[in-house]
Amino acid sequence: MSNPNQTLRSQTRSREGRLAFPAAPFPHGIQIIFKKYNYEEMIVGRSAAGFRNVNDRSGGAKEGDNLVIELPMPTSLVDATGLQINGFEKSLLESFVADALAPTLSGQGGSPMDGLKSLYDFGESGAESVVGGIQKMLSDPSGFTGDLGKAAGNGGRLAGFFLRNTLNAAGIGQKAIGNATGAAINPHATLSFEGVNLRNFSFDWTLYPDSLAEAEDIKKIVRSIKRVILPKTAGVTVGPDGGPGQSFARAFLEYPAVAFINLLGVDESAFVKFKACMVGDITVDYGGSGSVVIAEGGKPQGIKLSMSFKEMEIQTADDFQEPSDGDNQTTEAAADEPPGE
């Protein structure tokens, strides 16, 4: 845990590629390091690229050729985690097949990946065994127990269920058939887990400069952020001279920079930890006080800066394992290491 009263950064103009507001040192804040997008580093060299487990503080992005922005704490800091849970209905046949495949899908005591491999290996013989099981159930239901056995015990009713499903698929109303037979198909409504949503973060700052120099710092911060989060254009090389063709000079857009967010001067274990993000949008309101006011030198009296970020990886339980003793440290120390280390 860092000392909240400790001065965490030097003056804005003393470090090239590093911009901060306000110019005077402040004990708590947020640091955003923009690093050039590199897919190969993200996949192969996660520590080198800064794409790391949030509990591994040694792999953070470091200064160098990167753009580093330091601002006060935003007005709000919200960590919202969303899971993809959706309802669906299982047909009688789906329920039976799922029960028959349950040992295979679960890996029979192994890992889920073992279960998926077993499912791929299931093949033709597995399909034949399922069909044979259905045939056996219809011809001799005495060997089956539970709700499925009760359903199988009434062959005519079971056949009616399948018939209604078939007629319904053909466009013949299921409700009308159920009304005539006095039996409705159990929808077997349940829930399925389908994944984890990527986290989104929205930050707002209201920045009022105390001098022309700080007003210039704000302008540099806004322009520098836009320069790295917007894509550059790239052309296609054609022709014997190796130059870009007139029609292909701006054919592609390069991926914008990736943002690494760190909180400065706080106990990191008590706050949200961020994965690598991309910037979703940036909004600059030049009437930070509610109306546009022109200050000395023709600069805005204040601006309201808003930015939204979306993480590039989902959260998993591994991200919330208990950290080791050496993990409670501010990222400022990592940012101050010489470039290339």
pTM, entire model? 0.67
Kindly state the greatest CA–CA separation across the chain: 93
Total Cβ atoms within 10 A of residue 18 = 20
Residue 186, SS3?
coil
Q: What is the pLDDT of residue 185?
A: 73
Q: Are the C-beta atoms of residues 84 and 194 closer than 8 Å to each other?
A: yes
Q: What is the pLDDT of residue 184?
A: 77
Q: What is the pLDDT of residue 169?
A: 63
Q: What is the pLDDT of residue 171?
A: 54
Q: Where are the domains of the chain?
A: 12-82+197-335, 84-194
Strands (E), the chain: 18-20, 29-35, 67-71, 83-89, 189-196, 200-207, 233-234, 252-253, 258-264, 277-285, 303-311
Look at residues 206, 254, 249, 251 and name the one whose alpha carbon lies nearest to residue 228.
254
Q: What is the pLDDT of residue 23?
A: 83
Instruction: Please list the rounded mean pLDDT of every run of 10 residues in the chain (341 residues).
Output: 40 62 89 89 46 40 73 95 90 70 60 56 55 62 54 55 62 67 78 94 96 94 96 75 62 92 92 94 93 91 96 92 59 41 35
Q: Which two tokens stand for residue 31?
A: 């640091």
Q: What is the DSSP letter of 73?
A: P
Q: What is the pLDDT of residue 90?
A: 78
